Structure 1
Amino acid sequence: MNSNIETLYKIANKPEKTIIGLMSGTSFDGLDIAVCKFTGSGLGTNVKVSHFTTMDYAPDFKEALKEVFAKKQANLEQITILNEIIGTYYGDLILECLNKWEICATEIDLIASHGQTIFHAPKHQHHIANYPNATLQIGDGDHLAVKTGIITLSDFRQKHIAAGGEGAPLAVYGDYLIFSSPGENRIMLNIGGIANFTFLPSGHSTGFFSTDVGPGNTLMDQFIQLKSPGKYYDKNAEMASAGKINELLLNALYEHPFFKTDFPKTTGPELFSLRYLQNAIIVSGQEDISDFDIMATLAAFSAKGIIEAIEKSIPTDKSFEIYLSGGGMYNPLLVKYLENHFGRKLKSTTALGIHPDAKEAVLFALLANEAVAGGKTSFGDHPGLPTVSMGKISFPK
C-alpha cells in the first residue's frame, strides 16, 4: 500500500480527528482558521473548536484578488499564478497560527480548504445554451499540503456540480448534521457576501433544505470600496445609518427574475454587481440619490431578500428560531431591519456552541471528516442536494 494511502487509512480510523477548516469569503477580509476536534460522523458527529482566528490579508493580496474576482474577463496569467500563491500563502498563515498556539503540525490530521471563489456561474445565471453549472475556487491544495506537511482536502464544490447541484450552498450538509434539533425548527441564516439559509425542521425531518436568497454584504461592500478607497466594508453601518431608504430604488433592485426563481437556487456577486445597482438607479430615475441613501437602501434590499425568501419557503404553520452567522450579523442596520420584521432579537450560532465567525470554516472541516470517515448519511431526494463525498485529496509527499 502506498504510504500516503496508509496514513489516510489510519486517520480515517482514529476515534478523534483534528482537522483545520479554512474559509475565505468574497469580502477578502482574511482567512478563517478553525482547529476542530471531531468524533463520530454523520448524525453522530460531535465537534469542538479548540482554536479559531481570522488572519488578516495583506493589502496587496486583497487588491490582487479584487482584480480577478467576479469578472467575465480577467487576466488568465494572473489567475494561474494566484492559484499557486494562495495555496502557499494559506500554508504560511496556518503555520504562523500553529506556532502561536504551540501546536505541532504533526498533531493536525487534515486541512479542509474552501479556497477563494473567483467566479460562480450557475446555468440560470449565465444563460449559455448547452453549458453546465460551474464555479471556480482557486488556491491549490497540493501547494498547501506541501507547505504544511499536512494532508489537504480542497475544491469541495466541483463534486456537488458533477452530481447535479449548483456548487452551493454547501452549508446545508454540516447544518443538518450538527445543528438539527429534536424539538426546535431552526433557520441557520448566514449573511456573507451572498445571504443563504438552511431550514432544519425539528426531529431530523426530511423537510430540510438550503438556498441562496440574494445579496448579503456584497453590494454594500462593493459600493463602499468604490466610494472610499482603502475601506472594504461599512463598519457598524455608519454610512448606511446616516441615510434613508429610497423605496423607488428598493423596488427596482428587487425587480429581477432571480427573485422569482424557485428554491433552492444559488447566485453570486457576478449578478449582484455595481452594474446591477447602476441599472436599478437609472430604471428608478434616482440618479441624484445620495451615497448615504444608496447604502441605507442596499441594507434594506439585503433584508428584503432574506425576509421574502423565508416567508415564501417556510411553511406558515411552523414557528422557528433564527441563528445568525457571517459578516452581515455585525451590520446593525441590516440586523435591525430583520429584527423589526420578525419581532424579536435574533440569536447567533454561539447559542449552539459554534462561534458565528468560525461556522463556515467548521463546516468545511466537517465535509473533510465525512470524506474520510463518514459518507453513510443519505440526504434524501432533495433538489440540489446530492448525497456525495466532497473534497479532492492532496498529499504532502
Structure 2
Amino acid sequence: MNPSIAKLSDIAQKEDRLIIGLMSGTSLDGLDIALCKIKGNGTSTQLDLLQFDTMEYQPAFRQWIRQVFAKRSIDQQILCGLNPYIAQVHADLIIKALKKWSIQPQSIDAIASHGQTVFHAPQSLTGDISLPNSTLQLGDGDHIAVKTGIICISDFRQKHLAAGGEGAPLAAYGDYLLFSSANENRILLNIGGISNFTFLPKTDSSLKAYATDLGPGNTMMNQFMEMKFNLEMDKDAEIAKKGKLHNGLLQELENNHFLTLGFPKTTGPELFNLEYLNMAISKSGLNDLSPEDIMATLNSFSAQTMINGIRKATDGIDDFRIYVSGGGLHNPLLMEQLRQGFPSQVTSFNDLGLNPDAKEACLFAVLANETLSGDPYSVSRIQDSPAVCMGKISLPY
C-alpha cells in the first residue's frame, strides 16, 4: 500500500485531527492561516482554534492575480502559470507560519486549501445556459502537498458543482455543523469582498438552514480605492467618512435584477465591479461626484444590500441574532449602518467563541475534516445544497 494512503486511513480514524485551514478571498489582502484541532465529525464536530495569522500578500503578487481576476479576456499563459505559482506562495506562507508557531510540519494531519477564486460563473449570474455552472480557484493542491510535505485537500467547490450546486456559498456546511442552536435563530453574516450569510434556524424548527450571497461587501470599495488612491482598502472608512451619500447614485447601484432574486443565490466581482459603478454613475448623470462622495455611497450600497437581504430572510421571524465576521467587521461606517438597521441584533462573531477573522479558514478546515471522516448525510438539512463531502486529496509523495 502507498504509505500516503495508509497515513490517510490512520488520520481518518483518529479521535482528533490537526488541520490547517486556508482562505484567500476576493479582497486579495492576504492568506488567512488557521491551525485547528478538530474532534469528531458531523453535528458532533468540536473545533479548537490553536493558532491564526493573516499573511499579507506582496503588491507584486496581487498584481499577478489581478491580471486574470474576474476578467473574461485574459492571457492563458498567465492563468496557467498562476495555478502553481499561487500554490507555491501559499506553501511558503504555511511553512513561515509553522516556523513562527514552532510547530513541525509532520505534526499536521492535513491542509484545507480554498485557493484563490479568479472567476465565478454560475448560469444564474452569466445568463448563459450553453455551459454548466462553473467556478475557478487557483492554487494547485499537489504543489502545496509536495512543498510542505503535508496531505492537502483542495478545490472544494467542484464537488458542489458536480452534485448540482452553484459552487457557492459553501459556508452553510461548516456553519450548520458548528453553530446551530436550540435557543435562537442565527444569521451568520460574513462581509468579505462579497457579503453573504448563513441562516441557521433553531434546531427544532421546521425551517431549513441555507447560505446565500447578498451582493457587494468590500469588493467595489476596494477596487475604487486601488484605482483612485492606489490603496488596498479604505482603512477605518477614512475616505468614506469625508464624503456624503448621494441618493441618486445609490438608487442606480441598487437597480439590478440580482438584488431582487430570492434566496439562496450567488454572485461575485464578475458583476459587482468598477464597470458596474461606472455604468451607475453614467446613468445617474453624476460624473462630477468627488471620490469621497463615491466612497460614502459605495459604503451605503454595501450596507443597504445587507440590511435589505437580512430583512427579507427574517420576515416573520422576531427572535434572531446577527453575528458578523470578515473584513467588513473592521469598517466602522459599515458596522454603524448595520446597527442602525438592526439596533439590538448585531454583534461580532467573537460572541460565538471564534475569532471572526479566522472564521472562513476554520470552515474549510471543517470541510476537510468531513472529507476525511464525515458522512454526507450530516448536512442533508441544508436547503438547496447537495449533501456531499467536498475536496480533492493531494498526497505529498
Normalised by the shorter chain, which TM-score bucket?
Answer: over 0.9
Give the deviation of 1:272 after TM superposition: 0.5
- The residue identity in structure 1 corresponding to 2:113 is S
Match of 2:251 in 1: 251
Give the deviation of 1:376 after TM superposition: 4.7
Give the deviation of 1:349 after TM superposition: 1.4
Match of 1:87 in 2: 87
Q: TM-score, normalised by structure 1?
A: 0.97
2:209/2:381 contact within 8 Å kept: no
Match of 1:140 in 2: 140
Match of 2:218 in 1: 217
C-alpha distance in structure 1 between counterparts of 2:204 and 2:228, whole Å? 46
3-state secondary structure, aligned to 1:31:
strand
3-state secondary structure, aligned to 2:182:
coil
C-alpha distance in structure 2 between counterparts of 1:89 and 1:70, whole Å? 20
Q: How does 1:135-214 map to 2 (within 5 A)?
A: 135-203=135-203, 205=205, 206-214=207-215
Give me the CA root mean square deviation.
Answer: 1.2
2:194/2:215 contact within 8 Å kept: yes
- The residue identity in structure 1 corresponding to 2:81 is I
CA distance change for structure 1 residues 144 and 204 in 2, over 3 Å: closer, same or farther? farther
User: Could you give the per-residue CA deviations for residues 333-390 of structure 1, whole angstroms, max 9, x where no partner exists?
Assistant: 1111110111137211111111011000000000000001112534336553110010
Q: TM-score, normalised by structure 2?
A: 0.97
Match of 2:239 in 1: 239
3-state secondary structure, aligned to 1:83:
helix
C-alpha distance in structure 1 between counterparts of 2:172 and 2:342, whole Å? 23
User: Where in structure 1 are there 5+ consecutive unaligned residues?
Assistant: none
Match of 1:67 in 2: 67
Alignment of 1:371 with 2:371, yes or no, is yes
Give the deviation of 1:292 after TM superposition: 0.8
Give the deviation of 1:129 after TM superposition: 3.1
2:157/2:390 contact within 8 Å kept: yes
1:43/1:377 contact within 8 Å kept: no
Q: Once structures 1 and 2 are overlaid, which stretch shifts more, 124-133 or 206-215? A: 124-133
Query: How much identity, in percent, do the aligned residues show?
Result: 53
Match of 1:17 in 2: 17
- The residue identity in structure 2 corresponding to 1:207 is K
Alignment of 1:122 with 2:116, yes or no, is no
C-alpha distance in structure 1 between counterparts of 2:175 and 2:255, whole Å? 31
3-state secondary structure, aligned to 1:324:
strand
Q: Once structures 1 and 2 are overlaid, which stretch shifts more, 123-132 or 78-87? A: 123-132
C-alpha distance in structure 2 between counterparts of 1:394 and 1:329, whole Å? 34
1:185/1:318 contact within 8 Å kept: no
Give the deviation of 1:31 after TM superposition: 0.5
User: Could you give the per-residue CA deviations for residues 156-209 of structure 1, whole angstroms, max 9, x where no partner exists?
Assistant: 001101111111110000111101111011110000000000111122645211
Give the deviation of 1:86 after TM superposition: 1.0
Alignment of 1:296 with 2:296, yes or no, is yes
- The residue identity in structure 1 corresponding to 2:12 is A
Give the deviation of 1:26 after TM superposition: 1.0
Match of 1:99 in 2: 99
